[in-house]
Amino acid sequence: MAGTILITGGAGFIGSHLADELLAHGYRVRVLDDLTPQVHGGGERPEYLSSGVELLVGDVRDPDAVAKAVEGADAVVHLAARVGVGQSMYELAEYTAVNSLGTAVLLEALLHRPVERLLLASSMSVYGEGLYRAPDGSLVDGVERPREQLERGEWELDGLEPVPTPETKQPALASVYALTKYGQERLCLMFGSAYGIPTTALRLFNTYGPRQALSNPYTGVLAIFASRLLNGRPPLVFEDGRQRRDFVSVFDVARACRLALESDRAAGQVLNVGSGESVTVLEIAERLARILGVDIESEALGRWRAGDIRHCFADITRARELLGYEPQVDLEAGMRDLAEWLAGRTAVDRVDAATQELSSRGLL
């Protein structure tokens, strides 16, 4: 397809990279973004947002702003959302309003101004715990760690080996954020099916890279660790730091989004977008310190956070088959991209305040 692509939330980290990807492939790009202070500081147009992007400043919950944004758009990529597991557990109304109501307002606008494609950025958080294998070789779905186990400081699911998580795993919604992302998926896919708009939901795994909001303590863990290290402080790791995640470069995510927009086979599908590799959170912190040239050891808190899970990393077979998606940025190269961007930047370290906020509410 060609034409004008509207990206909601497109002035942010992932959206701005997607804008670059689309512009490079001949698309016109319009962005609707409220430039929320937690992400954008002073609320000005970000310096990294390409001059080729038409920026409309507005809230995705505002029907008038959304109607204006979708006018003349050929496709919509819906990224606008409040993100972060921890904060979602006490800002319930805000997360539900932006993520759930905002999506509904967008879809109502598309009733009157249909588009050729709709793409939603969902999240790996909808899985809760990832998929596991039992000693007898059988796959185990739907496991959770009881609160009593976590209070004893026993982090692992005994006798179970984590394996890559496919889209067929049943959702296990462990946080308000996860609940809203799954609701977005169902709303968009239901709407697309009912109104004949090819719709795809991409479950993004831990996305990292240049332009992450360094002073937002609820952003991706790599940006949080970078903020600590840049301020000469140790990264704080929940539990023992040996939980495994899938870290995927934002450049790979942007390409996956474009491929999904262009693929007829992606219509009606939910697809994982990750690196297909797993790494422990502690190893991520140690590698980032090394790449930044900082001799600071991470601090494993031995504490757990409400809504967190132990292991989850992506099976990307379906995205490979339907999109031709193949990760091109390995972790070492991706972290060097991040380190180069970090050079000379300042970050306000708000991690202690965020941690205290969670602790005071009994969520840590």
**Nearest one of 49, 46, 52 to 28, comparing CA atoms:** 52
> CA-to-CA distance for 356 and 364, rounded, in angstroms?
9
CA atoms lying within 13 Å on the CB side of residue 316: 23
Nearest of 201, 177, 176, 171 to residue 187 by alpha carbon: 201
Q: Are 78 and 119 in contact (CB under 8 A)?
A: yes
Residues paired with 110 in a beta bridge:
none
Query: Catalytic site residues?
Result: 177
Which residues lie closer than 8 Å to 72 by C-beta, 6 or more apart? 4
Determine the Cα–Cα distance for residues 167 and 318; give it in Å rounded to an integer.
8
Contacts of 150 (CB under 8 A, 6+ apart): 304
CA angle in degrees (0–180, nearest 5) for 319-325-330 = 115
The closest of 328, 334, 351, 236 to 291, measured between CA atoms, is 334
Question: In angstroms, what CA-CA distances link 132 with 141, 155, 310?
Answer: 7, 15, 11
Contact (Cβ atoms closer than 8 angstroms) between residue 248 and residue 205:
yes
CA–CA dist 262, 335 (Å, integer): 29
Q: Please give the Cα distance from 49 to 55 (Å, whole number).
A: 9
